[in-house]
């Protein structure tokens, strides 16, 4: 009889421990400079996007992504990661510009400008000059911007994202990770993303 009650006590302790572990579970962690992050650090869901500013599929995914972020609001934290593809000759130029604009607090405005006007700057006579025009439209400190472009740390940030993406088997853009689970492209994100997010949040059908 003592063994029986002892067993019950052990089971109760295990159940309680599991309950506490669920209650105290820490948010999923992804890293990036603060200017490339939207949402609270303690949000239960983190969406990380490996993206390329010259990529048409990345531009197309903006709509589904914004709908998803609006749907879940404060429950989601969003992180942008640079993954300029070698097949896109101006993607890295745009990534450098975005990092340096971000240093001055205008990353998301510039991010939207690049995607909304992708056809214009990609097909311009001089894409770097077109990108520069978008930068100037934001009214930044030009000297600080130019210094940032030459700073080795800027290249290091972009290269770190590229290395991370390759380590995580990213071979197409956009690739999204929702608390670590991979979704490729806007269609997968919109069709399967909510199912996974609801599972994370414990939402019942």
Q: How far apart are CA 59 and CA 52, in angstroms?
A: 9
pLDDT recorded at residue 75: 97
Q: How far apart are CA 201 and CA 90, in angstroms?
A: 39
pLDDT recorded at residue 31: 87
Structure tokens at 62: 């903006």
Q: How far apart are CA 198 and CA 96, in angstroms?
A: 35
Q: How far apart are CA 205 and CA 202, in angstroms?
A: 10
pLDDT recorded at residue 103: 97
Residue 61 burial by Cβ neighbours in a 10 Å radius (0-12, 13-18, 19+): buried
pLDDT recorded at residue 28: 73
> In 10 A of CB 201, how many CB atoms?
12
Unique residue bearing structure tokens 């975005």: 98
* Cα angle 173-158-189, degrees, rounded to a multiple of 5: 25
**What tens digit of pLDDT does each residue of 142-174 get?**
999 999 999 999 999 999 999 999 999 999 999
Backbone torsions φ then ψ of 110, nearest 5 degrees: -70, -40
CATH number at 27-201: 3.40.30.10
In order along its 205 residues, the chain shows pLDDT tens digits of 444 334 433 334 334 434 333 444 566 778 899 999 999 999 999 999 999 999 999 999 999 999 999 999 999 999 999 999 999 999 999 999 999 999 999 999 999 999 999 999 999 999 999 999 999 999 999 999 999 999 999 999 999 999 999 999 999 999 999 999 999 999 999 999 999 999 999 986 6
Q: Are the C-beta atoms of 84 and 95 separated by less than 8 Å? A: yes
pLDDT recorded at residue 67: 96
pLDDT recorded at residue 205: 61
pLDDT recorded at residue 29: 79
Structure tokens at 151: 């700073």
Q: How far apart are CA 104 and CA 115, in angstroms?
A: 19
pLDDT recorded at residue 25: 52
Alpha helices for the chain (secondary structure H): 2-23, 56-72, 91-102, 107-116, 118-122, 127-136, 142-150, 152-167, 185-201
Q: Are the C-beta atoms of 178 and 196 separated by less than 8 Å? A: yes
Report the greatest alpha carbon distance in the chain: 86
């Amino acid at each position: 009889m003592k063994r029986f009650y002892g067993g019950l006590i052990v089971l109760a302790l295990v159940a309680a421990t599991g309950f506490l572990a669920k209650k105290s579970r820490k948010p999923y962690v992804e890293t990036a400079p603060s200017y490339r992050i939207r949402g609270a650090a303690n949000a239960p869901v983190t969406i990380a996007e490996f993206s390329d500013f010259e990529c048409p599929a990345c531009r197309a995914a903006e709509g589904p992504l914004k709908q998803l972020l609006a749907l879940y609001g404060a429950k989601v934290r969003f992180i942008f990661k640079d993954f300029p593809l070698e097949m896109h000759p101006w993607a890295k130029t745009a990534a450098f510009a975005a990092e340096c604009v971000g240093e001055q607090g205008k990353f998301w405005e510039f991010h939207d400008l690049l995607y909304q006007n992708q056809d214009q700057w990609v097909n311009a006579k001089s894409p770097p000059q077109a990108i520069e025009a978008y930068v100037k439209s934001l009214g930044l400190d030009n000297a600080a911007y130019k210094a940032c472009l030459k700073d080795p740390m800027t290249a290091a940030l972009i290269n770190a994202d590229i290395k991370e993406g390759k380590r995580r088997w990213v071979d197409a853009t956009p690739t999204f990770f929702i608390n670590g689970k991979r979704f490729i492209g806007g269609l997968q994100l919109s069709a399967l993303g909510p199912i996974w997010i609801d599972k994370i949040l414990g939402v019942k059908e």
